[in-house]
Amino acid sequence: MTSVNSAPGDLAAALRAATAALAGAGVPSPRADAELLAGHLLGVGRGRVAALALAGADAPEGLADLVAERCRRVPLQHLTGTAHFRRLELAVGPGVFVPRPETEGVAQLAIDRARSVVADRGRARVVDLGTGSGAIAASVASEVPGAAVVAVELSDLAAAWAERNLAPHGVELVRGDLRTALGDRDGTFDVVVSNPPYIPAGAVPQDPEVRDHDPHVALYGGGADGMEVPGAVERTAARLLVPGGYLVMEHAEVQAEAVAGLLRAAGRWDRIEGHRDLTGRDRATSGIRR
């Protein structure tokens, strides 16, 4: 790696060397990551980086160091300090789960429901259980005028990131365990949304970015099937929602049946529905509180 751009030199050459090094380290999108890291240092987007490279610009100072870290599979978002989620640019780094594209679809379901509640009643009360960086809660608050959004987070480290991301959108951050949180506000929410930890204990993720850098508390759902925390989300949602309130939660594709079964067995949900992500996988389930 020391060969990459140790004297800053030419941007085009530095990007080629970075791309080769990243590909060699098994990074899935080496060219994109090389351009994004250069763009981060230059304060410009990827398109501008490509244009600058064509125009014969110099490589930015420090690119080699960032590329070396990325080759060690430090998440791209930890190196740039930001993750894009729907319309937002969120602050992320060590100690918080990096939000994923599939969760944008889960946020959409909560947004759609919150909008229809606002249309009917002028306002909607929404809670995001296990908010992490605050991605879902901040999206709902920023995209649904009239939504009052609460976000619950257990981890101190994650909550510090959430605070930064949620404050500009007026979301109330509540520190605590989603099992017991908001005990004094039962029966007062219209929408409960959650991307809980749900990975089964034995299903250790293959990507080093996930395995070594996402907090375990955000990944593993508890129990051999990973369903302990999703079960707690169902119970908490049942107590927090008004009758007719809407629950939507993310899960792994293989858990679609288990989550639908959990909601059916609880006997307090109508219109239990599965939802696919953009790649056609069953990644979320919703229900209406009886």
The verdict on whether residue 19 carries a ligand-binding annotation is no
Of 93 and 196, nearer to ligand GLN (C-beta) is 196
49-58: Cβ within 8 A, 24+ apart: 49/11, 49/15, 52/11, 53/11, 53/12, 53/15, 54/12, 56/10, 56/11, 56/12, 57/11, 58/8, 58/9, 58/10, 58/11
In whole angstroms, how close is the CB of 80 to ligand GLN at the nearest point? 19
In whole angstroms, how close is the CB of 51 to ligand GLN at the nearest point? 33
The verdict on whether residue 131 carries a ligand-binding annotation is yes
Of 220 and 246, nearer to ligand GLN (C-beta) is 220
The verdict on whether residue 197 carries a ligand-binding annotation is yes
Of 19 and 139, nearer to ligand GLN (C-beta) is 139
> Rounded distance, CA 272 to CA 265, Å?
11
In whole angstroms, how close is the CB of 2 to ligand GLN at the nearest point? 32
The verdict on whether residue 155 carries a ligand-binding annotation is no
- Mark 230-251 as b/e (b = at least 16 C-beta within 10 Å): bbbbbebbbebbeeebbbbbbb
Which positions lie near ligand GLN, rule CB under 6 A?
A: 100, 195-199, 205, 210, 219
In whole angstroms, how close is the CB of 285 to ligand GLN at the nearest point? 14
Of 18 and 284, nearer to ligand GLN (C-beta) is 284
Of 60 and 226, nearer to ligand GLN (C-beta) is 226
Closest CA to 148 of 101, 199, 97, 185: 185
The verdict on whether residue 220 carries a ligand-binding annotation is no
In whole angstroms, how close is the CB of 197 to ligand GLN at the nearest point? 5
The verdict on whether residue 198 carries a ligand-binding annotation is yes
| Residue list for the binding site for substrate | 195-198
| Residue list for the binding site for S-adenosyl-L-methionine | 130-134, 153, 195
